[in-house]
Every structure is written in structure tokens, then in C-alpha cells.
Structure 1
Amino acid sequence: MESEPNRAQHDYQHAVECLRQALESDETSKNPQLTISLYQKGIDELEKAINLNVDPNDNRAVELRTKMRRNLAMARERVQVL
């Protein structure tokens, strides 16, 4: 079974890939529904990763969670704009 910090890292990497695709779609696609769908996938993955339990003394995990929260806020904001 995967440890929580490793699971968070895995989910974050998946979220980043979804958000990368969303950004690419946002810049090149004429299909806002596809773009929103891709952003939503990334948002879902970030939420899943943020909700995992991590040791508050694990600086790397805490920094990753902070980064995920920032990315989550930006993705949600972009979906509202679209």
C-alpha cells in the first residue's frame, strides 16, 4: 500500500498533467466545455491529494500541500472566468 505522502505526490502529478492539458486547451481550443472539463479533473485530483493525511512535521509534504492549494485556487478561478 502506498504511503500518504507518496499518494499525495502521485495525485499531485496527475493533477498537474490534467491542468497542463487544460491550459493547452485554454490557449488553443475553441471548445470551452472541454477546457472546463480538463480543469475540473485537475481540481478533483488536487482536492483528493490535499485531503490526504500528512505529517505536519514533514516540511516537504507541507510545502507540497501549500503548492497544491495555490494551484487549486488558480484553477477554480480560471473555471469561473470560462
Structure 2
Amino acid sequence: MEQHFLARKPIALARIQWGGEPIVFASGAGFVGNPDKLRWQYETQSRDDLRLEFARKLICDKLRNSLVTLQSSLP
């Protein structure tokens, strides 16, 4: 079986979040992830209380930032 093209190249790929932060890395050697972040994701996905807490924080942050944008954009 032929090797995947990434396995033949000495490069790694990164997926960049909208704010410029790298969020996923991959190379010919496979997936590279932060074990603590992966553990947090799995635990959060499996528990309703953690998902709601995470969503509530995101929604509050988005609303707060939207208010700042509106206040600075409108006369």
C-alpha cells in the first residue's frame, strides 16, 4: 500500500482559529493533540452541566462584545 502524501513529506499542517490561534496539528506521523484539552472536551461533551456552563460563558462573552461594538459604532 502506498504511503499517504503527508507521510512522505517533512511538514506539519495546522488549522488556525479565526483569531489566529492554532487549534489542530497534523503531520505524516498522525494527529497531535493536547491530552488535557482532549480530556476536557470529552468530559464536557458527556455532561449536560459542563456543556451549559461552557455555552453560557460563550453567549455572555458574545453579548458583551456585541454591546461594545454597537456602542462604539452607533452615534
TM-score, scaled to structure 1:
0.32
The higher-RCO structure (CA 8 Å, 6+ apart) is 1
Bigger Rg over Cα? 2
Tell me the TM-score normalized by structure 2: 0.35
Larger % of strand: which?
A: 2
